[in-house]
């Protein structure tokens, strides 16, 4: 879930601001384009977590054991204010990102000094310490971008960047599907062990131009490489985020990595879909966008059920395969290839049939056991 935060509007990670600079477009355009894919990512995460809990018998917490949220909300009621200032500055006042961030920091500082939290208010020493931590973070970011910029400069001057683009197009044989698979693998490999911002700057210079060369829009190409560069964080054998989670839970690192891949499976599929269907990036008419969201969400739900192997009861392998195939068909962009609409409608109808059948079997079994 935290890995997906790099892609979740309205704030996203630092890579989104760099992308806006690369593409020479407003930051708001990047946010709008990333909204639907991020929604689908978290939808799959929620569905898989819920199904996994049901499959393994994790029951809900008893009401008398739930913590009282009101005191926490009451004490920290002002926490959303700085985020509200930031979002209004970016989208309401159309300020530059650095200006909106500055106003948000002022709002956060004012809240910390006036209201405080748990009896602590920001004083001069706390502000100095915050400036010190900010300076260190900025140095890390500057070094990452500077080194990546050096690599980009060398690639441009030497011609290696153009050569790599040409080589990828040639290896793909002019076939977009093959090129997308190659680009995804390259982004994951290049991103292993690197922070997201450094990964994006690198793959945006090395891989994105080859996708644009074959007709992919610049926005789709850059989001594609960002997604797969980010997924290197949870993709074994070098899954830094998953390994960090494993160290906290004292679990097996590689098993945690593969579990992360299963939970985040949508992020490996959605980039291919929005390259083929611009409606998933908010491009096109309102009806096309709504249809793309609804059908993709149905496909994500069906695919997640098949992947976990549980709906209202444990599923057999043949039934899991049916759910996964129908989910894949429902997600397919109708305009991507011939008979795409027939596959999509067939997937949705097939998924509805198997879901209703499973519900009927469960209801019949419950009636027999109770009778």
> Counting Cβ atoms within 10 Å, is residue 310 exposed (0-12), middle (13-18) or buried (19+)?
buried
Question: Nearest CA to 322 among 271, 294, 365, 356?
Answer: 356
Give 187-216 pLDDT, tens digit per residue. Answer: 888 777 777 777 888 888 888 888 888 888
Other residues' Cβ atoms within 10 Å of the Cβ of residue 325: 18
Confidence band, pLDDT 50/70/90 cuts, at residue 301: very high
Q: Look at residue 304 in the predicted model and tell me its pLDDT.
A: 93
Question: Nearest CA to 89 among 79, 103, 107?
Answer: 103
Contact 344, 352 (CB under 8 A): no
Angle in degrees, CA 190, 194, 197, rounded to 5:
100
Q: Look at residue 152 in the predicted model and tell me its pLDDT.
A: 67
Q: Which residues contact 345 (CB under 8 A, 6 or more apart)?
A: none
Confidence band, pLDDT 50/70/90 cuts, at residue 283: confident
Question: Nearest CA to 222 among 209, 231, 237?
Answer: 209
Average pLDDT, whole number, for the chain?
A: 85
Q: Is the pTM of this model over 0.75?
A: yes
Give 67-86 pLDDT, tens digit per residue. Answer: 888 888 888 888 889 989 98
User: Does residue 105 register a pLDDT over 70?
Assistant: yes
d(CA 367, CA 371): 6
Q: Which residues of 170-207 are buried (b: 16+ CB within 10 A; e: fewer)?
A: eebeeeeeebbebbbebbbebbbebbbbbbbbbbbbbb
Q: Look at residue 165 in the predicted model and tell me its pLDDT.
A: 66
Supply the DSSP symbol for 312: S
Q: Which residues contact 319 (CB under 8 A, 6 or more apart)?
A: 354, 358
């Amino acid at each position: 879930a935290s890995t997906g935060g790099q892609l979740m509007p309205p704030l996203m990670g630092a890579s989104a601001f760099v992308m806006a600079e690369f593409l020479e477009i407003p930051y708001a355009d990047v946010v709008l384009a990333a909204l639907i894919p991020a929604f689908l990512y978290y939808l799959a995460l929620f569905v898989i977590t819920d199904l996994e809990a049901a499959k393994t018998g994790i029951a809900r917490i008893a009401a008398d054991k739930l913590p009282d949220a009101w005191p926490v909300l009451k004490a920290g009621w002002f926490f959303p204010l700085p985020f509200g200032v930031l979002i209004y500055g970016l989208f309401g006042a159309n300020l530059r990102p650095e200006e909106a961030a500055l106003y948000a920091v002022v709002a956060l500082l004012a809240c910390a000094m006036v209201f405080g939290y748990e009896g602590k208010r920001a004083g001069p020493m706390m502000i100095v310490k915050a400036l010190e931590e900010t300076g260190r973070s900025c140095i890390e970011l500057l070094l990452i971008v500077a080194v990546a910029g050096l690599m980009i400069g060398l690639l441009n001057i030497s011609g290696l960047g153009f050569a790599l683009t040409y080589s990828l197009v040639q290896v793909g044989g002019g076939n977009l599907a093959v090129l997308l698979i190659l680009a995804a693998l390259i982004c994951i490999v290049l991103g292993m062990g690197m922070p997201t911002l450094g990964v994006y700057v690198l793959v945006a210079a090395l891989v994105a131009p080859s996708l644009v060369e074959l007709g992919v829009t610049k926005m789709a190409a850059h989001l594609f490489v960002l997604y797969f560069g980010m997924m290197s964080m949870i993709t074994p054998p070098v899954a830094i985020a998953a390994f960090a989670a494993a160290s906290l839970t004292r679990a097996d690192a590689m098993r945690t990595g593969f579990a992360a891949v299963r939970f985040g499976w949508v992020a490996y599929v959605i980039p291919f879909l929005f390259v083929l269907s611009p409606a998933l990036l908010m491009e096109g008419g309102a009806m096309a966008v709504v249809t793309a969201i609804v059908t993709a969400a149905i496909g994500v739900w069906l695919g997640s059920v098949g992947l976990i192997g549980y709906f209202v009861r444990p599923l057999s392998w043949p039934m899991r395969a049916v759910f996964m195939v129908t989910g894949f068909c429902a997600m397919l962009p109708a305009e991507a290839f011939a008979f795409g609409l027939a596959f999509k409608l067939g997937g949705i109808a097939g998924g509805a049939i198997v879901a209703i059948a499973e519900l009927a079997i469960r209801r019949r079994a419950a009636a027999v056991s109770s009778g």
